[in-house]
Structure 1
Amino acid sequence: MAAADDPPKAWLMLAVGADRQHGGNDGYDDDPDVHYSWDHTVPNARTVAVGDRIVLWDKEAVIGASVIEEIETGHAEKILYRCPRCNGANIKRRKRESPPFRCFPCSDTFPIASTRVERVETFRSRHDANWVDLGRCLDGQTLRSLCVSPKSQLSMRPLRWDAFAEALRSVGRARGAAFLDEATPWVQSRPGGHRQARVRVRVGQGGFRERLLATLGPVCAFTGPGPAAALEAAHLYSYAAVGQHHDDGGLLLRRDVHRLFDQGDIAVDPHTLTISLRDELLRYPGYAPLHGQPLATKLDRGQVAWIEKHWRQHRPDAC
């Protein structure tokens, strides 16, 4: 385990989806600004940790960067493709050449790979709260040069963070690096880490958000009016537990506020309907002024009931 005063690790991670293959598998379900997925067959799988900084790219340019807030772990059945000659997993499906498969260890090429189903340990990061969209400001060649091993071909490779931050400054993106430098100690101070999780798909989430926009308008309940594109439909209850959308159980929240609300770092006092911040948030000037303020959205009776349950869950000592 790293010492408390060790600098956090940083990673260059290849996204997205079927373009990212390892061990001859069918790819991963990445959503770059929200989560990144991998399994135990990927090098560095168990080395990546909460509090590490990550930079996502697509081989051509940088997509964005963030700090890992949480890593969900589980298990899944996965189809793996193998070389029929040496049974190696380091094969690649080629798009423009025939035969389509090539094995790198033995250099054999073949039209059909051997397959087998294997149970794998899965990992999924959550990093949306501190996501910084970098607008493809650095190209792939530059990013490779900033890695600890510039010639590495790994999908998750160690990155020299200071060199990356300097590269951002050289293209006028210094604020992005500074924001993540500030966010990292906050994430590392949070309790938690790897956890087991089974994620329920939020069927109908888009319609739920549209109904809230139609009813409430483009207003973050905590920070006030804002562009609709910046607002998310936040459940005032655990969707994973309830399994359905309740129109009186939702509010529109800005993405960062939504994440902090889900964690209980921001809550609503049901007695005064004013915003309550945990002490750790009060040192951040972007959030501190919210403490003690009334909501920007008028709540109906059903929403107040859900708010009260959220308060009891995250502020039991104040009940």
Structure 2
Amino acid sequence: MQPAENTRAWLLTYRDGVEPSLRSGGHTYDDVLSSHYSYDSNVKNCEKIRPGDIVVLWDTSNALGASVVSSVTSGPGKKRMRYCPNCGSPRNIRRRSEKGPFICELNRGCGHRTMHPRYDWTDLTVYSADYEEAFLPLSLNIPKEQVHAACDNDNKRLSIRGLSWQRFSNLLQDAPSAAVKRTLDLHAHRFTKSIDFAYPQEPPGGFSSVMARARIGQASFRAKLISQFGSVCAFTGPSPLATLEAAHLYSYAAVGLHHEHGGILLRRDLHSLFDQGLIRVSSAHAIELDQTLLDYPQYALLDGKSLEFKPNRAMQKWFETHRTQHSEQGWSTQISWS
């Protein structure tokens, strides 16, 4: 799928690990690379990010990941701002080194230098752009100049910069990056369609409020598995990233933790069957099917097939536990595995 000319995209500066005193406001955010990006009304373009937009996160040197925004929330907040003691400006007073003086660079300066800027709290709006569902890690060695050239403006200091998705897509030439691009295009396309779609006649419907438990760290867990295994389903082989889910080899509902070596990538239908115990992995690393699946040719072909990788000892133990628990329950009895 070619990126649409009107695809909206943003380059977001992710500053995890940067000493707060080097930032213009001396303020930290609760950004999580694989799930959400936080910012406030002092940041240019703060009101422009919206659901369906593609975001690329980078640390001013490397592209770290990309995703499609699923929601944007906002609310009142406070921020401790740093002010120039000479002209009173709260913007662009920063230090260029960890121990150097703060310099007021408003409109190229009042130029005042000080080791003791003034601090005060100010009311503002805080935003959080959530993109956990579609997040994909990137490991790109793209020259900074090319990244800047793909942006819509020349202001390199902006934390949120408009990005030409078409120009940036042209930088994604290697196979893994091209797969990421296709997946993001698909997510953005589907999201836009879901917004634009309207029924000729609205059917009865609506929503009810429910309490649900969200899995913390699920996107990071999936990203780690993609980095480890690539775009490969453990049962069937290479598959589009959009079809692959992070499957735990144990009951996450019971444990609530993402154990190292405790997951594989599976196609969505196979993930469901694995969770129900209808598919298991033998001690010989071969796929075993419940008898009820053998009537379906697409699944019957998997029976006895070896995994796409050789599991390490930790994974072998998880597979053994999975076999044992489901054997005790019986092949066709569903238990809460996820």
Structures share fold, TM-score greater than 0.5: yes
Question: CA RMSD of the aligned region, Å?
Answer: 4.5
Q: Cα distance 1:235–1:124, how it changes in 2: closer, same or farther (>3 A)?
A: farther
TM superposition shift of 1:57: 0.8
The answer to whether the 8 A contact 2:13-2:59 is kept is: yes
Match of residue 82 from structure 2: 81
**CA pair 29-117 structure 1, distance change in 2 beyond 3 A:** same
Pair 1:140 & 2:144 matched: yes
Q: Distance in 2 between matches of 1:172 and 1:249?
A: 28
Aligned residue in 1 for 2:97: 95
Contact 2:151–2:163 (8 Å) recurs in 1: yes
**Equivalents in 2 of 1:186, 1:115: separation in Å?**
46
- Superposed, which structure 2 residues align to 1:254-269 within 5 Å? none
Alpha-carbon distance in 1 for matches of 2:265, 2:80: 35
Question: What TM-score does the superposition give when structure 2 sets the normalisation length?
Answer: 0.56
Could you tell me which residue of structure 2 aligns to residue 42 of structure 1?
43
Please list the CA deviations of residues 195-247 of structure 1 after superposition, one character each: whole Å capped at 9, or x if unmatched.
Answer: xxxxx9999x89xx9xxxxxxxxxxxxx8889xxx5569976xxxxxxxxx65
* Per-residue Cα deviation, 1:88-146 (whole angstroms, up to 9, x for no partner): 122113325532x1111111111011111123322122212222222133132221111
TM-score normalised by the chain length of structure 1? 0.59
Residue range with higher mean Cα deviation, 147-156 or 68-77: 68-77
On the 8 A contact 2:66/2:136 being kept in 1, the answer is yes
**TM-aligned CA deviation for residue 155 of structure 1:** 0.6
Contact map agreement 1:18 1:27 (CA 8 A) in 2: no
After superposition, what is the alpha-carbon deviation per residue over 1:47-83, rounded to whole angstroms, capped at 9, x for unaligned? 1111101111111121121111122323333211111
Percentage of pairs with the same residue = 22
Is the 2:235–2:266 Cα contact (8 Å) retained in structure 1? no
Give yes or no for contact 2:42–2:124 (8 Å, CA) kept in 1.
yes
Moved more, 150-159 or 14-23: 14-23
Q: String of CA shifts for 1:151-189, please: whole Å, max 9, x gaps.
A: 442110001110100111278732221111111122334
Give distance in 2, aligned partners of 1:173 and 1:39: 31
Long gaps (5+) in structure 2:
196-212, 222-232, 237-245, 279-297, 300-318
The residue correspondences of 1:197-276 to structure 2 (distance < 5 A) are 247=255
Q: Between Structure 1 and Structure 2, how many residues are aligned?
A: 240
Separation in structure 2 between the aligned mates of residue 188 and residue 256 of structure 1, nearest angstrom: 27
1:92–1:103 contact (8 Å) kept in structure 2: yes
8 Å Cα contact 1:16-1:29 kept in structure 2: no
- 3-state SS of the aligned residue for 1:119? strand
Instruction: In structure 1, list runs of 5 or more residues that go unmatched.
Output: 192-199, 210-222, 237-245, 261-265, 275-288, 291-295, 308-319
Which one of the candidate residues 177, 183, 186 is aligned to 2:187?
A: 183
* Structure number with larger C-alpha Rg: 2
